[in-house]
Amino acid sequence: MQVPGHAARVMAEQQAMDCSGGSGNGRPAGEHFKILPAIDAILEYMRPVAVVGIGKTAFGAFPDKSLRALAVEATNHALADANLAASEVEAFYLGNFAGPSFVGQNHLAPYVGMAAGFEGIPCTRFEDACASSGSAFFHAWLGVSSGIYDRVVVTGVEKMTSQTTPRVTEILAGAGDMASEGKAGATFPALFGMIARRHMQQYGTTREQLAAVAVKNHANGAKNPLAHMRKIITLEQAMNGKPIAEPLTVYDCSLISDGAAAVVLVPLEQARDLNPRYARILAVVQTSDHVALDSKADITVFPAVQAAGKKAYAIAKVGPQDIQLAELHDCFTIAEIVASEDLGFVEKGDGGPFVENGCTRLDGRIPINTSGGLKSKGHPVGATGVGQICDVVMQLRGDAGERQLARHQLGLAQNLGGSGATCVVSILEAA
């Protein structure tokens, strides 16, 4: 856009002001992080790791594709991208939340692994609610960085659309505390509806600001050929959706989707020979917190996200101000706002104005969910964590098509389980 001199300067100043990060976030990350010396000691023995292959299915409703077929499809894409044969893979990590409930199949890792051609190697399923494949990714990274394996595959998958929405709601509720909140009738939209109410009360966050997350993410998702709902929505539509759990409407909720995503990890020193378009993993951190929302001191904060973010910044030796793009876990619009605060992109309570002012759009200071996020891209629960890694790597490679950013050297992915009981934060750098 061409704007005459003075007006352009004023606009630039306003933008800089509106989008400025929190004043406390410029300090070296990790200054207040007490276990840092331990991390430094451990990292001396860890090998740097790279993502050399990514693969995704489209996310959507696929009545003709089984859980296993989706997982194998994504896995094959990732192996082909990494120029590796299945027979060269040494361990397989599968992220899946509720295959046993959604499709009646247990023992999923060897079930998928054998179909993908991984004969005889360790195949293990990881379940941490919506952070299942984030958790699988973290453990796979440990396997390579510790020197045990040179070739591992991480696949995330979920097959949800074969069940009715009330049944899906019930299965998802199982990621909460079923002996307390679950028994009282808490659904996941209800838990995040209660978080939203409290955030609005404490910080003045508005309904419009929640809706701004959905409008932005749908605008991005419309540019993503693999997204579930490639539809631009207006603020008015987002404000007037069917109520799901007040104040959240259907437009505040992520989608019920089928889909899979996969990545291949190898030691950094071997990455270039396999695929020069690799991405270096600077940090992967997994943290945990209470499962029941009513056990938390302040529900407008995800301590697991704050801790994972601080630790990841410290290990990667970067701060929130250095991140050029982020895939955040927008299972609900409020979750993206809270995560943007907890990761230090803005001060606590400023996440609403941050998105409303356009700071997180494709042309904003820190573009968030350029893929369309869980809101528009879709949220096949167990696939989401690895899907985010794939989306960050696509941006780092410059392969994100219509939604490609000009600055794409350093990206962050944040995967959340339940109402904040598991968090995985990863920071990746372009080759």
- Summarize as ranges the residues that interact with another protein (CB under 8 A): 164-167, 169-170, 173, 179-181, 183-187, 189-190, 193-195, 197-198, 201, 242-248, 292-295, 299
Nearer to another protein (CB atom), residue 29 or residue 213: 213
Nearer to another protein (CB atom), residue 83 or residue 164: 164
- List 19, 77, 123, 130, catalytic entry: 130
| Closest distance of CB 169 from another protein, Å | 5
Nearer to another protein (CB atom), residue 241 or residue 319: 241
C-alpha span between 103 and 153 (Å, rounded): 23
Check the CA dihedral 286-308-290-98 and report its sign: negative
**Which residue bears the tokens 């050029």?**
324
| Closest distance of CB 349 from another protein, Å | 16
- List 379, 390, 408, 423, catalytic entry: 379
Q: How many CB atoms lie within 10 A of CB 162?
A: 16
| Closest distance of CB 247 from another protein, Å | 8
| Closest distance of CB 36 from another protein, Å | 33
Nearer to another protein (CB atom), residue 89 or residue 248: 248
C-alpha span between 213 and 344 (Å, rounded): 18
**Which residue bears the tokens 């697991």?**
304
Catalytic residue check, 123: no
Q: Which residues of 95-107 are buried (b: 16+ CB within 10 A; e: fewer)?
A: bbbbbebbbebee
Q: How many CB atoms lie within 10 A of CB 165?
A: 10
Nearer to another protein (CB atom), residue 34 or residue 242: 242
C-alpha span between 423 and 418 (Å, rounded): 9
Closest Cα partner for 56 from 355, 283, 388? Answer: 388
Closest Cα partner for 340 from 369, 316, 312? Answer: 369
Contact 344, 302 (CB under 8 A): no
Contact 300, 352 (CB under 8 A): no
| Closest distance of CB 419 from another protein, Å | 11
Nearer to another protein (CB atom), residue 104 or residue 166: 166
**Burial of residue 227, with CB atoms counted within 10 A of its CB: 0-12 exposed, 13-18 middle, 19 or more buried:** buried
227 contacts: CB under 8 Å, gap ≥ 6 = 58, 59, 221, 371, 372, 376, 377, 378
Nearer to another protein (CB atom), residue 294 or residue 347: 294
Q: How far is Cα of residue 282 from the mean position of the Cα atoms in its chain?
A: 16
| Closest distance of CB 295 from another protein, Å | 8
| Closest distance of CB 244 from another protein, Å | 5
| Closest distance of CB 297 from another protein, Å | 9
Nearer to another protein (CB atom), residue 254 or residue 275: 254
318 contacts: CB under 8 Å, gap ≥ 6 = 29, 282, 410, 427
Catalytic residue check, 130: yes
Strands 91-95 and 152-159: parallel
- Count Cα neighbours of 358 within 13 Å in the Cβ-side half-sphere: 9
Residues serving a catalytic function are 130, 379
